[in-house]
Structure 1
Amino acid sequence: MKQRKSISKDMRDTVDSMSDVMARQMDLTGDIIDGLADTAQRFLSSLTAGQSSNCCDIPEPCWMPKDLGEYHCKLCAGSTGIMEIRITNTDFRPRNFTLAAAGPDAGRITLSPNSFTLGPKERRTVRAEFDTRLDDTVHCADFEALIWVVGCNSHYLRWTVEVGKAERPCCHHVEVFDQPDYEHHWYDHFYCVRPCYGKSTRPGTAGKSDG
């Protein structure tokens, strides 16, 4: 009788041990499956993210001007919009810079200074002012002009001003980093003039080369 009880106890202990081992194995298997699922999800996410940017995309031609963005002001008639354009010559040689306004409302923009020379790594801030004076018979108007910055490269920004009975602070700050591109890319073509091509991309001369 005692022997049967001993055998039954040994069997229960064995079954309990086996059950514990199986439970641990199932937990381990679940962890492995969860880990594989997380890895697969990260892999799929990286593939999806990569679809938005193709390493083989060809950018605009090298002679195209660089877009500095669009800036908007809302002012009362008679106020002055202000923009500070800080230009940095990142090249290792001196560079001449010229600035000019373009468009039907270019006459309302004053640039000070509008031409200068920067030595290697030097920078200078140009102050641009937008005059919003209106005739006595006009109470509101919309103005727009481009500001060109030409050094080694050509850069431009678009400035729009809404003139009415309300206004908000109008003092923008724009950074311009001007530098030649000495790196030869696989997508370069014969129309890429190196190292600088800014003089050939002023308004009305895009695509022409000064050599």
Structure 2
Amino acid sequence: MREVLQVGEHVTRAAQGVYVFIRQADGPVYITALMQDGRQSGHELYHGQQVELVGEIRELKIQNLHAAVNTVVIGTGYGRFHPRQDGQEMTIVGQSDPLTVGNDDQHPLHVINEYEQTVVTDPAQPLDVKHQPPAGQVNALPEIVPDVTGAVVPASAGRRALLLRAAPDNTGLIWLSGAAGVGLPLAATDGLLKLETTAAVDLLATNATDKIFVMELIA
């Protein structure tokens, strides 16, 4: 979620997860997390800092403690956030499974969300998926175009991790959640994101024409 806060201003936003991290901030903010069980937890945070909360977040109250206008980008989720440095990938760790190295020559396929998942051997000749790839290979999921109603990468018990990257010509954010402003936002300028989870992942684009590239690492 991205907020531009005046001096002393505060806003309240719906959120979910157990981690709160400050992706961008011009100065300090005070985060009050209202938990699902009714408890509250308050924290003063700066750019690049994060906090792990005990319990599930329901909403966040964000207050500007900076002496000037403060542009703040906040993410929430279920895994620890590792800030990306120049030349490095950005990683969220949800499980302890190690990364399996895959092939580099996978071809994303442009599809509409409602259509059946496909992989290709020739990019001009899509084929239906009939089997899972052998252990240690990469399952090239389609390039997804999540419209304003959202899209879902389905759950997979044999998955090691998902590799996600927003298309470089995107003009808006893609949210890893079912609602804009909730969960982790991915922008065109962000690097590769590795999400280690076997669960389904919701995706929602603020602009209907924006795309996200998805690859699946199979156990």
TM-score normalised per structure 2: 0.27
**Higher percent of residues as helix:** 1
Structure number with higher strand proportion: 2
Greater relative CO (CA pairs within 8 A, separation 6+): 1
Normalised TM-score (structure 1): 0.27
